[in-house]
Amino acid sequence: MVGVVLATHGGLGESLIGAMEMILGGQPRVGALSLQLADRLEDATARLQAALAGADEGDGVLVLTDMLGGTPSNICLSLLGGPRPVEVVSGANLPMLLKAVQARRDAGLAEVAAQVKKVGRSAIIVAGEALAGPEPRGEGGERG
């Protein structure tokens, strides 16, 4: 089973895990690295390594980060290509986490990452646009 770690600024990772557990119940091999302003890079890296070790049972770890280019993401990106199979997907949201914990039992690391990316993108909706429905089409089928 693929492990899941959320690496985020502040307490976002723990909050997403709490929301996920409200919906799905407790899940094994899910952890978080929450970076605080006062954290030293060396300490954060050590905590990340511990979170990965706690989540990995041999099938690799999917790391969800809040923002590509942020310190949590940058720390995680440094682990790509290392001895432990790790994949990093940025833009973490609740639908992505739900998909990750549901898909990880039946799919490998790369497939879980692909499914999580797809769900994350499809979960971004502007409510006003969705409620307005499709735009009217002109006579030739083109949008007006």
Instruction: Give me the pLDDT at residue 142, please.
Output: 60
Instruction: Give me the pLDDT at residue 133, please.
Output: 79
SS (H, E, C) the chain: CCEEEEEEECCHHHHHHHHHHHHHCCCCCEEEEEECCCCCHHHHHHHHHHHHHHHCCCCCEEEEECCCCCHHHHHHHCCCCCCCCEEEEECCCHHHHHHHHHHCCCCCHHHHHHHHHHHHHHCCCCHHHHHHCCCCECCCCCEC
Instruction: Give me the pLDDT at residue 134, please.
Output: 78
Cα-only R_g, the chain: 18
Instruction: Give me the pLDDT at residue 137, please.
Output: 67
Instruction: Give me the pLDDT at residue 135, please.
Output: 72
Average pLDDT value for the chain: 93
Name the CATH topology of 3-132: Rossmann fold (3.40.50)
All residue ranges of the chain with pLDDT < 50 are: 144
Instruction: Give me the pLDDT at residue 143, please.
Output: 55
Instruction: Give me the pLDDT at residue 93, please.
Output: 97
pLDDT tens, position by position, 95-126 = 999 999 999 999 999 999 999 999 999 999 99
List phi, psi (to 5°) of 16: -65, -40
pTM attached to this predicted model: 0.89
